[in-house]
Structure formats: structure tokens, C-alpha cells
Structure 1
């Protein structure tokens, strides 16, 4: 099985990104990754013109978000009651953070797959 088929058959391959080698797939990959970043990054052409820079930045952004959500999750039971938050809201908040952490993990795996596909040229050699 080719690397492309292996990547796109993964459950973590994003539905918004066409399969590598198909028409316009790199544009869909770049757009999907750009959409993972805060909107203010949309104006930086360096990110959209250089897949290596874009994928690196998206990976760093997701790592940061995961650290933030983990910290929020780990401190919810201790900090939220002192802020007057009701127990039912704290439980819902903890579930929200756990769901978000799962989602960020899936996104991170998807970014890794798309990154691998973007950074490998048609000949199977790594792009520079």
C-alpha cells in the first residue's frame, strides 16, 4: 500500500482535505491548517506559501492549546468553587475540557498526517 493510501485511510485524516495527489489537494490542506490558527494569522502569506512553516506553526499552536486545556482541566475542581461556580457547572466544565482535549489530539494527529503528505514530493523525496 502506498504512503498516500495509508495516510488518507487513517481515521485521523481530516475530511476537509482531499487525498494527496488529487486535484487541488494541497490548497485544501493549506486552507484546513490555516483555519486551525487564530484568524489574525490569515494575513501572513509566509504561512500559506510555505507548507513547512505552516505545519510547524499549527503543530506549535495545537501543543500550546493542549497544555492550556490540560491546566484548566487539572485546576477546575480547586479553583472554580472558590470563584462561586456551582458543582453542576464545574462537572460540565470538566467534561467540556476533556472533550476539547480529545478533539485537539485528533486535530494534532491530522496535522501530522497532512504535514507528512505536504512535505513529501511526488517522487517520495522530502521537500526542502
Structure 2
């Protein structure tokens, strides 16, 4: 792995998750990922028992959230005036959505590095 890739992975790693190799790191990863999903998903044992599947679902969930925010950004100025939303509120909402998109992008990178680590661990376990 290149130094740049390693640096990016370190930078993107979520603080709430222990690093691979540390005791109980997969549990902290699973808890973090589960907290990112809507509460109704906590009842699906298939997700909670498979960290790799949970990570995949979290990636999909964030991708969909990003799409929704992009639509809100792209259509806000055109659609909100007809709903009676004032120009000041429209501009505030545009800034809010832009900030949310940045936050979701950071979150997507964090999920990706955790997912890669979980998959690598699962692959190593299968190889044994």
C-alpha cells in the first residue's frame, strides 16, 4: 500500500472505532456502523451478525442519503419559491445541504475504510 493510501486511510478512520488488531475492534466497528443506520435495521439479525454485510448496507444507506441531498441542492432554488419558502430560508437551506453533503462524503470515506478492514479480516478468517 502506498504512503498516500495509508495516510488517507488513517485520516478517514472514525474515532469511535478501534483500529484492526486491537482487542474488540470488530465490536466497535459493528456498533458504529449500526448506529449509522435507521433504528429499524437493528432488529435484523442478519445485519447485526455479519459486520461485512452491515458495512455494505451502511455504504448503500449513505450513498442514498447523498443522492437525496444532491437533489435537494439541485432543485431547491427552482422548487422552493412555489412552496412559499422565502429567499432567506432557501439560501440557508442551500448552505445546510452543502455542509451535509460534505459531512456525508467524510462519513462515506470512513465507512469505506472500515468496510475494507472488515472484509480483509473476514477473508483472512476464511483462509484459515
The two structures have a TM-score, normalised by structure 1, of 0.87
- CA separation in 2, counterparts of 1:39 and 1:109? 22
- CA separation in 1, counterparts of 2:100 and 2:39? 19
Partners of 1:20 and 1:26 within 8 A in 2: yes
What RMSD, in angstroms, separates the aligned Cα atoms of the two structures? 2.5
In structure 1, the residue matched to 2:37 is 37
In structure 1, the residue matched to 2:92 is 92
- CA separation in 1, counterparts of 2:27 and 2:47? 13
In structure 1, the residue matched to 2:80 is 80
CA separation of 1:11 and 1:33: change in aligned 2, threshold 3 A: same
Partners of 2:26 and 2:51 within 8 A in 1: no
Q: How many positions carry a matched residue from both structures? A: 125
The two structures have a TM-score, normalised by structure 2, of 0.87
Structure 1 gap ranges (5+): none
TM-superposed deviation, 1:56: 1.2
CA separation of 1:110 and 1:43: change in aligned 2, threshold 3 A: same
In structure 2, the residue matched to 1:117 is 117
CA separation of 1:54 and 1:7: change in aligned 2, threshold 3 A: farther
Structure 2 gap ranges (5+): none
- CA separation in 2, counterparts of 1:127 and 1:55? 18
